Amino acid sequence: GQQLNQSPQSMFIQEGEDVSMNCTSSSIFNTWLWYKQDPGEGPVLLIALYKAGELTSNGRLTAQFGITRKDSFLNISASIPSDVGIYFCAGQPQAAGNKLTFGGGTRVLVKP
Amino acid sequence: DTGVSQDPRHKITKRGQNVTFRCDPISEHNRLYWYRQTLGQGPEFLTYFQNEAQLEKSRLLSDRFSAERPKGSFSTLEIQRTEQGDSAMYLCASSLRQGARETQYFGPGTRLLVL
């Protein structure tokens, strides 16, 4: 089963708002990745983090690799309608091979 | 398009039939991964290859599942005697390890429905 706790499970956004989501783990990871998945499609890589403490931006997206190696967060600034989708964090364990362990996802929806 | 491709995109089959999926990785990527994703969940690891060698298999991969990567390029995932519980999205990812860094890129997936 999955070992990453991702929160929130879902959130509503209004255009222009900043949003934030995070992932925590009981295990140490040496790489954190953030993906976005649209319905019926595969996950698309947003940001990759390789060092504890690293803060990386990709356009309106910013992600950080926690100092303890057990957490990461993703921020989206000035959200737009196409930010709707499911965001997944994924970690590569330090000593258990190269497979990714995924969080349960954060579903981003537009406020009615 | 030089991304990861998967074929077919959708497959509907009857319980007990065999199905085979294909994945073509990004060229020059030596690692290829298979994951399974059920509705409302994140992907779960099934198996991975480095070149043509299958290096790890998850306990999720029952005896009815087999994966190959015969020439270290494309890969196939076969499910024999399908069961309704096999219904899921099957995702392929490829990567190229560079030093301590490895980033996996996913294909669009094959959605399987077993009736």
Question: In the numeric block, which tokens belong to residue A61?
Answer: 């997206």
Mean pLDDT of chain B: 94
AA letter at A65 = F
Contacts of A30 in chain B (CB under 8 A): 100
Is A52 part of the contact surface with chain B (CB cutoff 8 Å)? no
Mean pLDDT of chain A: 91
With cut-offs at 50, 70 and 90, classify the pLDDT of residue A97.
low
Is A39 part of the contact surface with chain B (CB cutoff 8 Å)? no
Instruction: Specify the pLDDT at position B61.
Output: 87
Each residue of B9-41: pLDDT tens digit? 999 999 999 999 999 999 989 999 999 999 999
Best residue of B104, B105, B111 to probe chain A, by most A CBs closer than 10 Å: B104
Indicate yes or no: CB of B43 within 8 angstroms of CB of A99: no
The answer to whether the bond into A8 is cis (omega within 30° of 0) is: yes
Q: For B42-47, which contacts have Cβ atoms below 8 Å and span 24 or more sequence positions?
A: B42/A2, B42/A4, B42/A6, B42/A88, B42/A90, B42/A102, B42/A103, B42/A104, B42/A105, B43/A43, B43/A88, B43/A100, B43/A102, B43/B89, B43/B91, B44/A2, B44/A102, B45/A99, B45/A100, B45/A101, B46/B77
With cut-offs at 50, 70 and 90, classify the pLDDT of residue A27.
confident
Is A47 part of the contact surface with chain B (CB cutoff 8 Å)? no
H/E stretch holding B25 reads: none
Is A51 part of the contact surface with chain B (CB cutoff 8 Å)? no
What separation, in Å, do the N-terminal and C-terminal C-alpha atoms of chain B show? 33
- Pairing of the two strands B75-79 and A55-58: unpaired
Question: In the numeric block, which tokens belong to residue A2?
Answer: 């999955």
With a cut of 80, say whether residue A112 has pLDDT above it. Answer: no
With cut-offs at 50, 70 and 90, classify the pLDDT of residue A98.
confident
Instruction: Specify the pLDDT at position A6.
Output: 96
How far does the CA of residue B107 sit from the closest CA of chain A (Å)? 6
Is B105 part of the contact surface with chain A (CB cutoff 8 Å)? yes
With a cut of 70, say whether residue B1 has pLDDT above it. Answer: no
Q: What are phi and psi of B84, to 5 degrees?
A: -60, -30
How far does the CA of residue B42 sit from the closest CA of chain A (Å)? 5
Q: Least CA distance to A101: which residue of chain B?
A: B44
Is B74 part of the contact surface with chain A (CB cutoff 8 Å)? no
Largest CA distance in chain A: 45
With cut-offs at 50, 70 and 90, classify the pLDDT of residue A2.
low
Each residue of A55-96: pLDDT tens digit? 999 999 999 999 999 999 999 999 999 999 999 999 987 644
AA letter at B48 = Y
Instruction: Specify the pLDDT at position A96.
Output: 45
How far does the CA of residue A17 sit from the closest CA of chain B (Å)? 25
Q: Average the pLDDT over B77-91 and give the result.
A: 97
Q: Average the pLDDT over A15-36 and give the result.
A: 94
Indicate yes or no: CB of B103 within 8 angstroms of CB of A33: yes
Q: Average the pLDDT over B90-113 and give the result.
A: 91
Indicate yes or no: CB of A45 within 8 angstroms of CB of B107: no
How far apart are the C-alpha atoms of A28 and A96, rounded to whole Å?
10
Contacts of B100 in chain A (CB under 8 A): 30, 50
